[in-house]
Amino acid sequence: MRECGYKCGMHHVEICFESIAATFDVINTQKDESNESKRLKFVKDDQIVLLDMGGGTIDAACLKFLEDGMMEETHHRDGLEIGGVAVDQAFEALLSDIFGDTVIPKFQKELKKKVCKFLFLCNPQAWLQQKYTFWSAKHSLPVNEQWNVRLDMHFKDHLETECKSLTAVREKLQAHKINGKSKSGKKNFMCIRIIFLGLLGETFLVLSYETWLFLHEQVLRSICDLVSKLLDHERVKPKVLIVTGGFSNCPYIVPRLEKLFSERKDPLKVYRPHNAHESVVRGSVLWAINQKKLSFLRAFSTLGLSVDWTWNPWDPHDDHKVSSFESSTGFLRKRCFDTIIRRDDKYEDGKEYNDVYVLPRQQTSVEFGLYKSEHKDGIQYCDDKSKCQLLKKFIMFFEKPFSEQVDFQITFILKNDRVRLLYKHPETGNFDFAIVKFEDECVEDVVKIGKEFENEELKVES
């Protein structure tokens, strides 16, 4: 995204996380809240947790208010790779349970359907229309009531063909039961009915309240698990939970969270602002102007550098111990994880961490890696894939090999969404930058330093 901005002619690009942007908007709009009872008021040491709920992800920010309108993160940014789209997927899965696993793929693969003499409609397009009608119904759900989903006429014809008759379609829908209890207490209740309405003969699927709740259950449970995990953290003590984003308008979310909090020792207020779906857009502008008000951040991952350390007699005798003339003890420990910052540690935006990387003698190039981990402690080696993964690889080329070991000075500058590497070139003595995204998992784009010598490496390999 940053590179796209540069290519579009932007000279300065900053990226803000959605949950942080939404927080700036909610805090700012409280000043304009006309209803005194609904206005949120914060003083020093008050905390909030904000969940920004979208279609594909739910992002959390845990913040604490300091003096003079300043804030700091009390917990690293967290979230879920699930959102409103999971409800759409649950609806498709329900249709597959009722009519068979092949009913939707078969409909999509039919190349085209004749609408009139000169017009043909591709079935993939027709299926998108059916998905859109469900999406529209989902975003207009009432509270505690059944709600209709219009059945696209082409998909209705397909179901009728597959089931041999529309009566058979109706019977399949009526025969399918969902395990659970309805509002009346009945177990294994019927989930969907089919009705015909309108002068144009439109067909609707009538989904009961319990069915809609069933379709939302996976994402509702995931939200509650995330919130419970955050609230169990010793530093996270919010006075209010704020929900924003398009999916936060779902009528089941706030009641489910309120039920969760009613079962806890310290009940928590849930707040959803007006026009919650606009919070990120408005907040990103406010953040761009006032981003310095977020004075302290929390590291999303543990970061470390791959280094070779001198082996000492108290170190383990494992396969990372190799003999070396470069070591005072005669041995090195290869590919050790040298921690830069631990997950959830507090830091200021722009915090610098200095390190020295020893370049072996008689080398025309050297490479080292920046690694990340979800673990906070207990990471010994960078090749332990169960605990860490490569974030970015660096390769430095030299015109002439060094006759002696050379210290390579490195400074890591931690930003809110990336790492900037400031290094001093051991040959020229010049300082330069390399940028690595804080959460980047793609290591194919190797950072190469001294590109004028890159072809020499290619010649050696060939």
DSSP code per residue over 92-138: HHHHHHHH-TTHHHHHHHS--EE-SSS-EE-HHHHHHHHHHHHHHHH
- Give percent helix, percent strand, percent coil of the chain, each to the nearest 5: 35, 30, 35
Cα separation of 64 and 252, whole Å?
A: 28
Structural contact between residues 50 and 244, judged by C-beta atoms closer than 8 angstroms:
yes
Q: What is the pLDDT of residue 450?
A: 56
**The residue type at 33:** E
Cα separation of 374 and 3, whole Å?
A: 26
Structural contact between residues 203 and 156, judged by C-beta atoms closer than 8 angstroms:
yes
Q: What is the pLDDT of residue 23?
A: 94
Confidence check: pLDDT of 25 > 50: yes
Residues of the chain with CATH 2.60.34.10: 301-306+335-461
Q: What is the pLDDT of residue 88?
A: 96
The end-to-end CA distance of the chain, in Å, is 35
- Tell me: the pLDDT tens digits for 48-83? 999 999 999 999 999 999 988 899 999 988 899 999
Confidence check: pLDDT of 199 > 60: no
Higher-pLDDT residue of 372 and 327 is: 372
Provide the Cα torsion 285, 286, 292, 295; round to 10°.
Answer: -110
Confidence check: pLDDT of 445 > 60: no
Confidence check: pLDDT of 444 > 50: no
Lowest mean pLDDT among 69-78, 96-105, 253-262, 422-431: 422-431
The size of the chain, in residues, is 462
Structural contact between residues 51 and 42, judged by C-beta atoms closer than 8 angstroms:
no
Question: What architecture is domain 301-306+335-461?
Answer: Sandwich (2.60)
Question: What are φ and ψ of residue 50, in 5° steps?
Answer: -120, 130
Q: What is the mean pLDDT of residues 279-284?
A: 92
Cα separation of 158 and 353, whole Å?
A: 63
Confidence check: pLDDT of 120 > 60: no
DSSP 235: T
Structural contact between residues 304 and 388, judged by C-beta atoms closer than 8 angstroms:
yes
Burial of 362 (0-12, 13-18, 19+ CB in 10 A): exposed
Query: pLDDT band at 430, cuts 50/70/90?
Result: confident
Top-ranked range on mean pLDDT: pick from 110-119, 149-158, 175-184 = 149-158
Q: Torsion-angle region of residue 125: left (phi > 0), alpha (psi -120 to 50) or beta? A: alpha
Structural contact between residues 132 and 122, judged by C-beta atoms closer than 8 angstroms:
no
Residues of the chain with CATH 3.30.420.40: 15-83+216-297
- Distance, C-alpha 356 to centroid of its chain: 33
Cα separation of 245 and 19, whole Å?
A: 9
Confidence check: pLDDT of 262 > 50: yes
Cα separation of 279 and 276, whole Å?
A: 5
Query: pLDDT band at 14, cuts 50/70/90?
Result: confident
Provide the Cα torsion 88, 91, 95, 98; round to 10°.
Answer: 160
The 321-323 sheet, strands edge to edge: 321-323, 331-341, 302-310, 365-373, 389-397, 447-449
Query: pLDDT band at 221, cuts 50/70/90?
Result: very high
Query: pLDDT band at 459, cuts 50/70/90?
Result: very low
Structural contact between residues 350 and 415, judged by C-beta atoms closer than 8 angstroms:
yes
Higher-pLDDT residue of 34 and 228 is: 228
- Tell me: the pLDDT tens digits for 374-416? 998 889 999 898 999 888 777 777 777 777 777 878 888 888 7
Q: Is pTM, for the whole model, over 0.85?
A: no
- Tell me: the pLDDT tens digits for 35-50? 777 788 889 999 999 9
The domain 15-83+216-297 belongs to what CATH superfamily? ATPase, nucleotide binding domain (3.30.420.40)
